[in-house]
Structure 1
Amino acid sequence: MSPAVGHGNPPSRSASSSTIVAETATGYHLLKINGYSLTKATTPTGSFLPSSPFTVGGHRWSIKYYPNGDDVETADYISFFLVLEEEETNMGLTVQAKFNFRI
Structure 2
Amino acid sequence: MAAEANNLAPWTAVPEDCAPHVRRYLTGLAYRSDLDLVAREASAYARAAAAEHAGGAWVFDVDETLLYNLPYYAEHGYGLELFDHREFDKWVEKGEAPAIPSS
Which interval holds the TM-score relative to the shorter structure? under 0.3
TM-score by length of 1: 0.25
Which one has the largest radius of gyration? 1
Structure with the higher helix share, 1 or 2 = 2
Q: TM-score, normalised by structure 2?
A: 0.25
Higher strand share: 1
